[in-house]
Homo-oligomer: A and B are copies of this chain.
Amino acid sequence: MNVEFINPFLSSMLNVMSTMAQMELVPEKPRLKKDEIAMGDVSGLIGMVSDQAKGSLSITFEGPLALATMKKMVGEAPDEVNEEITDLVGEITNMVTGGAKRLLSEKGIEFDMATPIVVSGPNHRIHHKAKGPIVIIPLKNELGKAYIEFSFDD
Q: Is the CB of A48 within 8 A of B90?
A: no
Chain A interface residue count, CB cutoff 8 Å, equals 38
Closest residue to A44 on the B side, CB-wise?
A: B129
Q: Which of B43, B48, B126 contacts A114 (CB 8 A)?
A: B48
Chain A contact surface mostly: strand
Copies in the assembly, this chain = 2
Cα A148 to Cα B49 with chains together (Å) = 22
Supply 24 A–B pairs (Cβ within 8 Å), ascending by A.
A45-B117, A45-B119, A47-B47, A47-B114, A47-B115, A47-B117, A49-B49, A54-B112, A54-B113, A55-B115, A83-B127, A94-B129, A115-B129, A115-B131, A115-B152, A117-B127, A118-B126, A118-B127, A120-B124, A120-B125, A121-B121, A121-B124, A121-B125, A124-B124
